[in-house]
Structure 1
């Protein structure tokens, strides 16, 4: 016989979820280890938490065996290391991106994900960790907390508010956030799909003393990424006098973290951001400081690894077509995101290429998941629910 307080809590949660379905419990199942009442309530009430479990992608016979068969380490140099941000707003995109990497990897068990979560995201880093684990039970990953106050005082206004999100700047701090044992990483934005073997990108060499590799676009009008005030200042514009700068998109980068740390590139980027706060020298968000430091000294990677701009421009958004040539990675950079346009029943043609990787569960599958999740919560957690609601 359930205690009256516990019984009342169950009835209350069920009745509220039936009256207001968008706030129902919405993940496939909770992690097997115990979670406290606050985290359980966060998982239960979050509309963004509805994801199906991904297929179980396993290595083939030809894959190299990890150095440690029993426990995969975030330091293992034999693995492919990928860094991505993880937040509630772009979670649907991040999950699809991870799914695409695993689906097309020749050795999916040899991939390690380093997720960077914001300290004050509506979904706590712990809950995001549990959600990733329930969606990808066999995934090798670690979640790091990014302290937004690290960069908040360096961010200037941009042409689009989303570009001012502190988590956009987490890539500047990968050398500090990730353990010093991680020598190399692929950074990927949350709005990408990888449709080729990620090991091919990982195996690209960074020649000479180059710190990053990325597809370059030298036909683009490079001057538009900085203000007239920047170009008219002979001291500032001289930064490009000894190199031929080309535009590159920072949403896909291969990064040598040893050289990054040795060259103190985090501080070099911060110096430009500090100048931007005093004198407006660019209008976009986190991209221009990277261009100021690295443009003209980037390992040029084949364009197939960043078919970018599929989200349209940063103000209006628009439907774009693919660039000529083969495709290994699709990138919905720009204002429009495929999950938003699909949800609003107004997709662009290329958004349908993203759809098969989407693991988000529609509302019609909600009720079954709700009762399954409730049945997996311990009695002490439900009492926590009652305490929260009282």
Structure 2
């Protein structure tokens, strides 16, 4: 029986087009894999879900559309800095069916440019999540975050996470998230990521950011830190996931980064696919 990789995305309708570009890149660079896509959302219109399903059907993937009832979150704060999608990601174990034990969460603002099977097969051991840090040149941000979040652990980016759902069901509780926001909300700079790191960083296994969560703003940092090894040729051959952190996003007219043209190429491939169904 063919084994499938379970992919989780949590977003609103404003990110559907970037999601389709991301899925297109996933398809072209993982030709030997099959995927189950789990989309958790609150209010994406059915016609837009059906449009997305045309793409996943074209790829011969299954799209699992899970619309969340407001009752799930109870008294959880939901405003601009605490979007509902933040909770959907952290509480995925409570939302995804219990027969799914592992899932790979992906932000929509990424490109997959090489196979991801090695990330999927990462041995988590006793860890709950595998994720990357974005350390910069001197790693000073890690020390700042240790002080800011009162722990001695590394600070992990929540945009790409391999999650052991058996452990998330055991360890991640909505009450703990709400209590953290109530107590420390004014000190949280990147709320969902800060909550993840404050509560659960000791349960996260680090995976190489240069491979699995490459911050496209930091080409010169990676290049310099690697003593000029990680040039564009190295990235195209070795990096699997490019993450377009910050702004402008690659679909914005103002974007002109080293990787904008690559993104637009996958956008063009998507456009060609959509003309054929």
Q: Output the TM-score relative to the length of structure 1.
A: 0.58
Q: 1:350 aligns with which of 259, 265, 273?
A: 259
2:205 aligns with: 299
1:331 matched to 2:243? The reply is yes
Tell me if the contact between 2:91 and 2:168 (Cα under 8 Å) persists in the aligned partners.
no
SS at match of 1:286: helix
Tell me if the contact between 2:7 and 2:105 (Cα under 8 Å) persists in the aligned partners.
yes
Matches within 5 A, 1:195-210: 195-207=113-125, 209-210=126-127
2:130 aligns with: 213
Alignment: residue pair count: 255
- Consecutive unaligned residues of structure 1, counting only runs of 5 or more, are 1-64, 67-77, 232-236, 311-318, 363-368, 374-390
2:102 aligns with: 184
Matches within 5 A, 1:1-390: 65-66=1-2, 78-108=3-33, 110-119=34-43, 123-124=44-45, 126-137=46-57, 138-147=60-69, 150-151=72-73, 153-155=75-77, 161=80, 163-207=81-125, 209-217=126-134, 219-222=139-142, 224-225=144-145, 237=150, 240=151, 244-277=152-185, 280-303=186-209, 304-308=211-215, 310=216, 320-321=218-219, 323-324=222-223, 325=230, 326-340=238-252, 344=253, 346-358=255-267, 361=271
Measured after TM superposition, the shift of residue 224 of structure 1 is 4.2
RMSD: 3.0
Measured after TM superposition, the shift of residue 149 of structure 1 is 6.1
SS at match of 1:107: coil
CA distance in 1, matches of 2:214, 2:70: 30
CA distance in 2, matches of 1:114, 1:189: 12
1:54 aligns with: none
Measured after TM superposition, the shift of residue 265 of structure 1 is 4.2
Q: 1:147 to 1:286 in 2, by over 3 A?
A: farther
SS at match of 2:13: coil
SS at match of 1:182: coil
Measured after TM superposition, the shift of residue 153 of structure 1 is 4.9
Tell me if the contact between 1:156 and 1:285 (Cα under 8 Å) persists in the aligned partners.
no
Q: Output the TM-score relative to the length of structure 2.
A: 0.80
Larger Rg: 1
Measured after TM superposition, the shift of residue 179 of structure 1 is 0.4
Measured after TM superposition, the shift of residue 148 of structure 1 is 5.2
Measured after TM superposition, the shift of residue 307 of structure 1 is 0.6
